[in-house]
Chain A
């Protein structure tokens, strides 16, 4: 809502500066989002008199003027033709800065000195175009007075961001009322001196409301013999001041009154209304109607229309029809001022995508009390500006008349909830200033009837808010609550999420956050089988763009897109992870599932920009290592790395699924070259995925801790040749299968292929550390145990000890 300082001042005579007014409004909840001071900084543009005007000796189109600014007479070169000697003009003196940062300097124009500039409306930002310089009425002000002051144009435009509850402030009067209430001032209302002729309005036109539930009040007036013409300057300027374009005197008056009083009005060309009658009814299903903007609209049975005897002539409260629009030849006017039910207008406006100043106000609710006041004000102004005869009386069809219900209000409750301690009289005074009718009840409570225009006030709490608001939020002391102790700690889920995030970060991984919605085709890039459930995503009904149109079912595409984007910027050493939700459709009527997942991607060199191990590239085991760290940290038991039924997006020879017991908890592997290509990734990437929800369930909270043995250890290494297809893990398993308490630690410390190792074989070196918890092991005991292990390996796994 735009409003100016001067306009507000017509309604309430406050004595504050525009800066003070801005902060007062903001602290009333009418947030001043921006403020433009008209004429600010233009004090160097002054009223001046052209004492002499003669031809420039060197230029046909220029003249030399001697201009008096009240203090001195200056030489000014001017290119305009529309003035003569003796005219009063607007002189921009040296040092003035005009809109567009145009600085006036002393200059020579074609050899003649010029000490200023005579300005046009355009140059002062007063008009978009202008034909010549401003010629002011003679004697408008003493010479030297700033032009903006002389013209009464010094003003401040406030752009107010209104909250949806304050529909009353979609008008100058509404904002003025709040100022008056805050400052304790009286309101002034615009005049309406009706001059009516003898012809009765209801003898010329008639109004019928078929749906009083949707249109509780419809008032109309009739003016004949008027002349549509351009509006006078004061009206044009006033509308321009808040950004409304002037159209003609009749339309401008309806707009002016709407801005002043918040009542949208509509003027019909009455000669074009069949039967000179108005019927308010709902449209017929499929009924067609062309609105003012020349759009053919198809209506349905919930749309409210204003009709003449035959057809719709306006879409109620939203827009008039082309068939009854005011034209330059219009002479008779039916002026409408009505109240339409907000929900009805909103529904139609929304469906048709038709948002107008009028619908904006009706949707939020207008003051049903001001329907006739606005009508009278507009009729007065139209007759003033366009002439014509105003018929006697107004038609006021008001089937929905109802009084506002009184609200029971307890002043002490207001103090209690706000945390202040206002006197009862002070509270009642606030409500009275808001034009509520307050009467005291015997039990100490108060009965309050709010004014019609405050449709947002319906309950005691609404009144409490008004007390807090008018008294000032800045008057409320900041206190600490007195509260009961609650024992609460983060849930296991939350704690583990935070710990895993910390763990990954401490392992050099960088956290990313991708949008939860993605392109439908991004999951296809993973080459999943057709029946993979990850193809079934929840779709947005109204996505902004196709790339954000389905809810992701896996975090991988986002991760891989991020990887590709970073590689494009030559960030080639990446360790990325994301812990976020995926969204899986619920079964039937169930809510969708939103499980938390973890994904990671590792690529590039292992040591980043280090110097001691340059060019050492990461591989599968870096990714597996991160996964192992997480699983170990969460103490998830029974882990196995399974190469059956691998995920389609991994290299089949370099990936596996991760099982904890029988539960698949994730996967790890090198990205499949085709998938890598699908995501336009240049280098190999190693990824992992973990099902966070399963991990939380499987994580063991109680750790068993054993005291370390105090006896010496003994270590034996064994190198063996094993067939390439035999998994190294089987060797460890086989050693562990001995289940001896004396085997403290088993470690693969070398894997070797090449010289001395036959094709199809690899050499594996294992170190076994023996130690007892009870005694120092004798050499013979260790030898016997070690030999037993080697025999087992040789017999069960067909290995050859080297």
Chain B
């Protein structure tokens, strides 16, 4: 029995060392340790041994079995490793080929700028308001203190449509519609499409504006300056200089044109800023008492400011676009860059 075991052990270890694949090793395991395996058969034979021999031989059988098991385990693991190594060795792709990616979509730059500006103002507590593009004269002009036949109307070449209506020339009528609907405090931002009969490299007959309006009990012109400074710094970078200079809009007083230090040349002077170092980006001012009168607000006890800016102008400055017409040609070679 002892010799038999010794023989079995040696044979098995030899077979294991010769085996080259996991499958062969599995076969060896079955032939030795399986239900009908050789070692299993030997173990069954233990019963016929004497009571003294049984524990000794039993011990020996166990030792041999453990020895074979561990040799098999090690051999299987190493065969497996070799197999994996060989697989990894043989499998190769050309990783330089482009990735398989979904087609890239983009938002129109006008949408991008509107979203960005609205989100800056959302952070300052301004809600988004909207209004019709085909407007009544009253909302677009009269309530904003442009009396009929007033020269200020010349500043805005107007498209007229039937029924005495017009295409709004600015987003300012949204101010009026908002104030008629709600009592102070008011804090809105109104992006939208506007129209003027004018067309060249810097004017488009259709363009976009964002209007802002804040009315509360004690809002000052200095507050307007503060809000616009925060806004331009967020939009164009932390240290963008801001300059307010006197101007005129019928619906604000005092009124201001707001310039930022030229983002192209940093204020040194270049073609874009006409060597002034400043870029005009928006118009603003304190809401004129006449406007409050039209919306039945009490001008004595409230105050507020309004401002408006052209989206295209800001998009052109932000992205360095020189011709406004590019924005409406919808050439995907242009649009896909955003």
Residue numbers of A with Cβ under 8 A of B are 26-29, 31, 34, 163-166, 342-343, 346-347, 363-364, 416-420, 459, 461-462, 464-465, 468-469, 473-474, 476-486, 488-491, 494, 498, 501, 504-517, 538-544, 548, 551, 562, 565-566, 569, 571, 573-576, 581, 583, 589, 591-592, 594, 607-612
Contact = CB atoms under 8 A, between A and B. Distances in A.
Nearest to A163: B248
B222 interface: yes
A540 B167 contact: yes
Contacts of B195: 516
B289 interface: yes
B44 to A, nearest CB: 39
Contacts of A538: 134, 161-162
Given A498-B115, A565-B330, 8 more contacts: A29-B248, A468-B221, A479-B226, A481-B223, A483-B125, A483-B219, A543-B159, A569-B331
B134 A29 contact: no
Given A465-B255, A540-B167, A479 B185 contact: no
B55 interface: no
B218 interface: yes
Interface string B158-183: 01111101010000000000000000
B134 A551 contact: yes
B285 to A, nearest CB: 9
Given A494-B128, A511-B335, A417 B205 contact: no
B257 interface: yes
Interface in B285-338: 286, 288-289, 303, 327-333, 335-336
A551 B248 CA distance: 32
B256 interface: yes
B: interface residue count bin = 35 or more
A472 B313 CA distance: 27
B133 A417 contact: no
Interface in B94-138: 97-98, 100, 102-108, 110-111, 115, 125, 127-128, 130, 132-134, 136
Contacts of B100: 607, 610, 612
Contacts of A512: 108, 330, 335
Contacts of A540: 159-161, 167
A488 B133 CA distance: 24
Interface string B82-98: 00000000000000011
A27 B331 contact: no
A29 B283 CA distance: 13
The 9 closest A-B pairs by CB, nearest first: A419-B222, A29-B246, A419-B220, A163-B248, A508-B103, A488-B127, A481-B223, A465-B254, A505-B105
With most chain A CB atoms within 10 A of its CB, the pick from B242, B248, B333 is B248
15 contacts: A343-B149, A416-B218, A419-B223, A469-B246, A473-B246, A481-B214, A505-B107, A517-B205, A540-B161, A540-B167, A541-B162, A542-B159, A544-B199, A571-B333, A610-B98
Nearest to B163: A589
A711 to B, nearest CB: 34
A513 B330 contact: yes
Interface string B208-232: 0000001011111111011101100
A418 B336 contact: no
A597 to B, nearest CB: 14
Nearest to A550: B161
A599 B322 CA distance: 29
Contact of B151 (A364, A462, A483, A515): A364
A477 B247 CA distance: 18
A31 B110 CA distance: 29
B134 A566 contact: no
B262 to A, nearest CB: 15
Given A478-B222, A591-B132, A608-B103, A490 B289 contact: no
A513 B108 contact: yes
B187 interface: yes
B49 interface: no
A539 B162 contact: yes
With most chain A CB atoms within 10 A of its CB, the pick from B103, B187, B253, B331 is B103
A363 B104 CA distance: 55
A543 B205 CA distance: 10
B226 A478 contact: yes
Contact of B244 (A473, A539, A589): A473
B134 A592 contact: yes
Contacts of A609: 98
Contact of B152 (A164, A342, A479): A164
B211 to A, nearest CB: 15
